[in-house]
């Protein structure tokens, strides 16, 4: 017996081509009816298996173009259901095997839900437009978009632990760590469990910063623990060690470079054996994986270069209220919230359009060609007054000359 090959079919192949290839033309009408936009999203549709809507899939091809997909299991079920309900006289043949996309054809696949026909129709138009805009896109942006979709896929699997971490150090000597904060999410029996904490080195409790705020005693999400530097080291080592016992550990940072250095420093010496920056193609069973919300947001806003946003600005654009940043516990908490809101949302292009409609390409007159979002000055700067926004402020040289490189 030949092995059964599982994979995905392009939505366009199933909707436009499958019925035309049927040997019995009378079977084409019921097939078209069950695949119609408004039919697919109906609560009584045989493929509906939850409250969110019809589950379909967004796949990224090897050339980084995206496609809306049906799974081969869904296609099999549709033909079986049509025959069982006697809407077709025979079990209609499957689409040509040449149409089947397998793992080798796809960089990643993630689920997407549609609750009404309008959403489904509009998503197809947006996918087509974005594929055209992304032709010739910067490899950095393509890599970020790939990471974004992998993170969405892994997060949806509800496996392992996602732990946001942040350090603060004395700004006159960065080798002297003053704080550590963490905020994590994991799942037990499908139920989400959250934990967080904030540690301050007792010996450095009164060290005063010169260039950043002194907010170490303004933790918003629990009680700060003041411990000596030896206990500080042991607590962080123990935390990382314990978290690796629950499947894959995703360490989430906002700009990971400095925090990874702190974890590896003599002041901490965290057990990071096997730490990896590049995500695998499928959900891992174990290991320690670095996730950077700065890169995820750059993918979401379509930033192709090095102009990544600071945490405060990312949270503002994601509608996450913040208070007392530069406290390690608070920063870790807001970093995890940023991760969760992006990872639990739609695929990158649809999510971007929902958050900031008509802000890219031809939809925004000052936006560069491609998928880069054009933000307004009052969205970029919390101190920009409402009155200035109302009168249509534009810097000299037009919006294109607005310098947003300094996030702080």
Domains of the chain: 8-135 (no CATH), 156-351 (3.30.420.10)
Other CB atoms within 10 Å distance of the CB of residue 391? 8
pLDDT at 403 over 60: no
pLDDT tier at 406, thresholds 50, 70, 90: very low
Tell me what pLDDT residue 384 has.
Answer: 59
Other CB atoms within 10 Å distance of the CB of residue 100? 18
pLDDT at 400 over 60: no
pLDDT at 387 over 50: no
Tell me what pLDDT residue 48 has.
Answer: 86
Alpha-carbon torsion (65, 348, 151, 165), positive or negative: positive
| Total residue count of the chain as it appears in this document | 408
pLDDT tier at 382, thresholds 50, 70, 90: low
> Which tens digit of pLDDT belongs to each residue from 273-327?
989 999 998 899 999 999 999 999 999 999 988 888 999 999 999 999 999 999 9
CA–CA distance, 222 with 337 (Å, rounded to integer): 16
CA–CA distance, 282 with 290 (Å, rounded to integer): 15
What percentage of residues in the chain have a pLDDT greater than 90? 63
CA–CA distance, 244 with 369 (Å, rounded to integer): 43
> 270 by DSSP, 3-state: which?
coil
CA–CA distance, 371 with 133 (Å, rounded to integer): 6
pLDDT tier at 362, thresholds 50, 70, 90: low
28 in Cβ contact with 90 (< 8 Å) = no
pTM of the model: 0.80
Q: Would you state the torsion angle of the CA atoms of residues 196, 200, 206, 207, taken in this order, to the nearest 10 degrees?
A: -100
Q: Could you tell me whether strands 177-188 and 275-276 are parallel, antiparallel, or unpaired per DSSP bridges? A: unpaired
CA–CA distance, 82 with 376 (Å, rounded to integer): 51
> 16 by DSSP, 3-state: which?
helix
Q: Would you state the torsion angle of the CA atoms of residues 327, 330, 332, 337, taken in this order, to the nearest 10 degrees?
A: -150
Phi, psi (deg, nearest 5) at residue 192 = -75, 135
């Amino acid at each position: 017996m030949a092995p059964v090959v599982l994979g995905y079919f392009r939505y366009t192949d199933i909707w436009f081509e499958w019925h035309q290839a049927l040997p019995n033309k009378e079977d084409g009408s019921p097939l078209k009816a069950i695949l119609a936009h408004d039919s697919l999203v109906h609560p009584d549709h045989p493929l509906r298996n939850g409250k969110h809507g019809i589950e379909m899939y967004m796949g990224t091809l090897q050339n980084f173009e995206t496609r809306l997909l049906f799974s081969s299991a869904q296609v099999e079920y549709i033909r079986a259901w049509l025959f069982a309900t006697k809407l077709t006289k025979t079990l209609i043949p499957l689409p040509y095997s040449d149409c089947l996309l397998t793992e080798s054809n796809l960089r990643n696949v993630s689920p997407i839900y549609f609750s009404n026909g309008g959403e489904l129709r509009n998503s197809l138009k947006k996918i087509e437009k974005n594929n055209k805009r992304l032709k010739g896109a910067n490899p950095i942006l393509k890599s970020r978009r790939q990471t974004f979709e992998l993170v969405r896929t892994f997060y949806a699997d509800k496996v392992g632990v996602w732990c946001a971490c942040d350090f603060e150090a004395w700004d006159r000597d960065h080798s002297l760590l003053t704080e550590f904060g963490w905020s994590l999410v994991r799942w037990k029996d499908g139920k989400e469990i959250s934990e967080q904490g904030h540690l301050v080195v007792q010996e450095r409790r009164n060290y005063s910063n010169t260039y950043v705020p002194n907010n170490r005693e303004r933790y918003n999400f629990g009680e700060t623990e003041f411990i000596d530097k030896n206990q500080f080291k042991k607590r962080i080592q123990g935390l990382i060690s314990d978290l690796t016992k629950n499947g894959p550990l995703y360490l989430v940072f906002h700009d990971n470079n400095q925090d990874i250095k702190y974890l590896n420093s003599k002041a901490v010496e965290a057990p990071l054996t096997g730490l990896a920056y590049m995500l695998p193609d499928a959900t891992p069973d174990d290991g320690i994986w670095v996730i950077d919300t700065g890169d995820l947001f750059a993918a979401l806003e379509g930033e192709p270069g090095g102009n990544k946003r600071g945490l405060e600005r990312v949270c503002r654009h994601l509608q996450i209220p913040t208070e007392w940043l530069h406290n390690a516990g608070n920063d870790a908490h807001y970093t995890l919230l940023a991760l969760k809101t992006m990872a639990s949302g739609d695929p990158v292009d649809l999510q971007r359009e929902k958050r900031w409609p008509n802000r890219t390409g031809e939809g925004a007159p000052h936006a560069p060609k491609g998928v880069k979002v054009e933000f307004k000055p009052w969205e970029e700067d919390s101190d920009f007054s409402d009155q200035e926004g109302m009168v249509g402020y534009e810097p000299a040289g037009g919006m294109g000359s607005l310098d947003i490189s300094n996030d702080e």
